[in-house]
Amino acid sequence: MISLIVQNAMNEQIKNELFSAYLYLSMAAFFEEKNLPGFAHWMRVQAQEEQEHALKFFDFIHDRGGKITLLPIEQPKAEWKSALDAFNDAYEHEQLVTGMINKIYETALEQKDYPSQIMLQWFIDEQVEEEKNASDIVEQLKRIEERGTAILMLDHELGKRSEG
Ligand code: FEO
């Protein structure tokens, strides 16, 4: 049986992962409006990944005999100054999520909840990748400084991101 305190933290994280999906879907809409379909595609794939993250917590709570509670999801931001501004936000958001995951892991350690610690190690690894993905694009966008053809080339590149 999962400890109540870990269960509550994971329920909170289901909401946080779904908020992440919402935020990236909002960024996808922003990029669609800006006629950057590759960026929009990248964000849509990211939103799908976040839903999968939420479901990992959902399944884990359920598998361990816990109770799932779905909490309200807030409205995400919808406007950014530029592609760089949006990806900067995505990078900052991922750093925030890393902090959340680390906090749940610390709770699982305090509670001596060993299965949760093992499950959370997947998320700890995943966050390294999540931060890197966003920060690599931030760096590319800084170099481009959003001038004409270069941003279209990056748009083409991001449009190739495979799902899952
Ligand atoms: Fe679910 Fe982007 O971390």
Please report whether residue 163 resides in a domain: no
Q: Please state the atom number of ligand 1 nearest to the C-alpha of residue 54.
A: 1
Ligand 1 center to 149 CA (angstroms): 30
Residue 48: left (phi > 0), alpha (psi -120 to 50), or beta? alpha
CATH of the domain at 140: 1.20.1260.10
Please report whether residue 133 resides in a domain: yes
Q: Would you state the pLDDT for residue 164?
A: 67
Ligand 1 center to 84 CA (angstroms): 19
Ligand 1 center to 65 CA (angstroms): 24
Ligand 1 center to 7 CA (angstroms): 19
Integer Cα distance of 103 and 112 in angstroms: 14
Q: Would you state the pLDDT for residue 43?
A: 98
What domain range includes position 108?
A: 4-158
Tell me, yes or no, if the pTM score tops 0.95: no
Per-residue confidence of the chain (164 residues) as pLDDT tens digits? Answer: 889 999 999 999 999 999 999 999 999 999 999 999 999 999 999 999 999 999 999 999 999 999 999 999 999 999 999 999 999 999 999 999 999 999 999 999 999 999 999 999 999 999 999 999 999 999 999 988 767 678 888 899 999 998 86
The number of residues in the chain equals 164
Q: Please state the atom number of ligand 1 nearest to the C-alpha of residue 50.
A: 1
Ligand 1 center to 86 CA (angstroms): 16
The binding-site residues of ligand 1, defined as CB within 6 angstroms of any ligand atom, are 17, 20, 50, 53, 94, 97, 130
Three-class SS of 29-77: HHHHHCCCHHHHHHHHHHHHHHHHHHHHHHHHHHHCCCCCCCCCCCCCC
Closest CA to ligand 1's atom 1: 50
Structure tokens at 3: 């400890």
Number of structural domains (the chain) is 1
Q: Would you state the pLDDT for residue 22?
A: 98
Q: Please state the atom number of ligand 1 nearest to the C-alpha of residue 126.
A: 3
Please report whether residue 164 resides in a domain: no
Please report whether residue 148 resides in a domain: yes
